[in-house]
Structure 1
Amino acid sequence: MTPRLALFLLLGIDAAILLFEASSLSLTFHGARLLYDYEPSVMTRIIQASIALFGQNDVALRLPMIVMNLISALLLYNVAKPYGRHARERVWLVAVFLLLPGVISSSLLVDEAALVTLGLFLYLFLEQRFGRRADLLLPLLALMDVAFALLFMGLAVQAYREQRYRYVGAYLLLTVVTVWVLGFNTGGLPQNQFLDMMGLYAAVFSPVVFVYLVYVLYRRYVTGQADLLCSIAATALVLSLLLSFRQRIEIEQFAPFLMAALPLGMQTFYHSYRVRLRPFRKRYRLLFTLATALLVINAGAVFFNKAAYLFLDEPSRYFAYRAHVAKELADALKARDITCATFPHNRSMQLRVRFYGVEECEGTVVRSERLADPQNVTIRYYNVPVAVFGVTNIPKN
């Protein structure tokens, strides 16, 4: 099998799994706010266009993110070409990218991470093909999401290293304009979130991959081998960790830029592997096997997330709970001819069920508690009750 055929087979399998999984999840509160509460963004309009074209369903809701990450995988395959001696190495890199928990989550949850990842790899691809002319894309990226300010800062760092001082000023000016126009969240009470941030990175990349990428970035800077990809990834990582000493960081704004280090990790690993004699390659094979096994396990935990309820005592504390229940609750209410209701003290569920056809009104009250009558709605997965809602019909005067 040729590497190119293997690449498209890999992308096809990934697309099929993601499309199948898309219909089993509910819209999260963050996704609902993106659709209904926030000022319409580029990502919001793309999702709305998909819904208008394919109907209001979970597949149409998540299709833009799935397509974006598949295109990002193709761009990564091309961006990694200068870093990989053989095409099969880049196919493995794409497989690792698609198995990253953060990539899978950004394909199935409604947020801006997939758009940011696509913008990053598109710029890197154009920069490799056309050099500085790729900078014509930057003003467009600046209008799409404030997270691209991190890209501009990484470009400024690399321009400074190359002593292109005029470009440093231009990139920093673009950074300031982006943050000023789109705004960057610096609110909240000062609090140390450093350890939480490290844990989030480990969850997004898996622990082994994250630690290895940090090692690669450090090694390249120490040895003077930092290039554009290294500057972008290191700038985003260092800024996120510094800011985490003061406030909670939105990981979806920073993690996509650490993806730029993936080709560097591939190059470093294969170079270290090849320069050693066969008897001394054992630990590298062990590292590769361990990283792959963890990625496969993490991917399985995401794809078969509902099976975990069979072993949980408190379902509401499960990490995937925020992407469950809403769709099933809306379907149960509509089965009782309830198409509008109010959820006291539960703004999250109020917004989430709106996507599934249950609008807000005062005729029916739904509470997150069991009532002493048959009006309860119980949501079950694998015959395990995970949530109970009490439904009260208020008679009209």
Structure 2
Amino acid sequence: MISRFILFLILGVDALVLLLQTSEISISYDEARLLYGDTSFLQLFIKTSFYFFGQNDFGLRLPMIALHISSALLLYEISKKYLIDVWSRLWLVVVFVLLPGVISSAILFNSAGLVIFGLLVFVYIYENYATNVQYLFLLMLCLIDSDFAYLFLALFFYGLYTKDKVMVAISSVLFLSNIYYYGLDIYGMPSGYFLDIMGIYAAVFTPIVFIYIFYVLYRRYVTKDIDLLWFIATTAFIFSILLSFRQRVDIEHFAPYVILALPLAARTFINSYRVRLKVFRGSYRNIFTVSLIFLLCNALLVFFNKELYLFIENPNTHFAYKMHVAKEVATKLHEQKIDCIQTDKELALRLRFYGVHNCDSYILKEKELNDVSEENSVTISYRNKHIFNYCVTKINKL
């Protein structure tokens, strides 16, 4: 009973912190494109939230936070197969919610959070329900998003490994159907982005966690201790590495798959820890402690990222700059009784979310931060540091 209370306490604190973050960030251009672009399941999912909560930051972020909390619960349930000790499962959930990539997927409106949730639901169904339910759910995933193509590819190899002809056939059909409908994003001339993607993986998981996950996947391959989670994580990881030799890779399409290796990594770590005498367990405790400190520091940097502007000369170089400014600009415009304006396409699409549409009555131009030559200049500041400077001019149509 105490473990269940601690689990919900962890998730409750996590949800509260994420909800508080909704007021700290604005919609980004990529999110606005997804919201106002071609119709998709994720877009309809978010617009359903708007129906109940209105078109605002809370309505935009709440569905992703809900998917994130549900994913954490599913991970806890799935890990019962790998971790007998309940406290080990709780620590696994803590690591999961603190991963930088997971935090981003919980806050940002993109496919990563949906893919993590979809993968965990499938694994849970695979372990607890009949095969007809599994294949029905796979069909749903095929229709929902293009990023699930790598799941079907993983299941194809898993079917070959387990000699499951039905799985091989169905996963092949679903994979081909998915890429036929959505396409496969392979483009450009061969160019090396291997180091780039390895660095991004290290940032998504933190270096220590990523290196250990890589070690566990390799070790399980050598010892032939491979299962469904191994195939899902490894297939996507290898595919992303191969793709990086040709083009720049969008990590949000692949990192959710590698996250499924967490129960495998946790089991390997716990087993390695327990087979050693107490006098030799110190190095493992130190590794876990350092990893946890890294995760906490990364989480604090994400949640208190605006403080970083105090130490950055050029605000545009801030890692979260694209998530800032738009809401404050829209608020200033509404205070001036301006509900439509002409500006660059990226800012215009972001302002649209906050009720400022495109027109030719006013024009908004960004200025240098130190340029205060015009009386109608407006500056957006965080922590008393100037971040964005602009002026609004009324267009004379006579």
With normalisation by structure 1, the TM-score equals: 0.97
Q: Counterparts in 2 of 1:217-366, with a 5 A limit?
A: 217-343=217-343, 346-366=344-364
| One-letter amino acid of the counterpart of residue 347, structure 2 | M
Amino acid at match of 1:49: T
Alignment of 1:141-220 (within 5 A): 141-220=141-220
1:74 equivalent in alignment to 2:73: yes
Look up the equivalent residue of 1:73 and give its one-letter code. Answer: A
- One-letter amino acid of the counterpart of residue 329, structure 1: V
AA at the equivalent of 1:294: F
Deviation for aligned residue 1:164: 2.0
Instruction: Tell me if structure 2 keeps the 8 A contact 1:378–1:388.
Output: yes
Pick closer, same or farther for the CA change 1:197–1:362 going to 2, 3 Å: same
CA contact (8 A) 2:188 2:246 kept: no
CA distance in structure 1 between the partners assigned to 2:189 and 2:17 by the alignment:
41
Residue of structure 2 in register with 1:25 after alignment: 25
User: Does the CA-based 8 Å contact 1:340-1:364 persist in structure 2?
Assistant: yes
Give the unaligned 5+ runs of structure 2.
Answer: none
Q: Which 10-residue stretch deviates more, 48-57 or 120-129?
A: 48-57
Report the aligned-residue RMSD: 1.2
Return the letter of the residue paired with 2:350. Answer: R
Partner of 1:41: 40
1:18-67 Cα deviation digits (max 9, x unpaired): 0011111000111000011x211100001111012101211111001000
In the alignment, residue 274 of structure 1 is paired with which amino acid? R
Alpha-carbon deviation of 1:365? 1.0
The code of the aligned residue for 2:232 comes to: I
Q: Is the 8 A contact 2:212 2:265 kept in 1?
A: yes
**Partner Cα separation in structure 1 for residue 193 and residue 335 of structure 2:** 44
- Residues paired across the two proteins, number: 394
Distance 1:281 1:131 in 2: 41
Report deviation, 1:188.
Answer: 4.1
| Structure 1 stretches lacking a partner, 5+ long | none
Aligned-pair identity (%): 45
Offset from partner CA, 1:54-113 (integer Å, 9 cap, x none): 012111110010000100000000111110011111111111111111111111111111
Tell me the secondary structure at the aligned position of residue 129 of structure 2. helix
Deviation of 1:167 after TM superposition, in Å, equals 2.2
Report the Cα distance in structure 2 between the residues aligned to 1:383 and 1:46, rounded to whole angstroms.
37
Which amino acid in the other structure matches residue 217 of structure 1? Answer: L
Shift of 1:205: 1.0
Q: Deviation above 4 Å: which 4+ runs of structure 1?
A: none
Give 3-state SS (helix, strand or coil) of 1:126's partner: helix
Relative to structure 2, which stretch is displaced further, 284-293 or 330-339? 330-339
Q: Which sits farther off after the overlay, 143-152 or 180-189?
A: 180-189
TM-score, normalised to structure 2, is: 0.97
1:84 pairs with 2:105: no
1:64 aligns with 2:63: yes
Structure 2 counterpart SS, 1:26 = coil
Determine the structure 2 residue equivalent to 1:382: 383
1:41 is aligned with what amino acid? S
Aligned-partner Cα distance in 1 for 2:97–2:335: 38
> d(CA) in 2 for partners of 1:367 and 1:191?
37
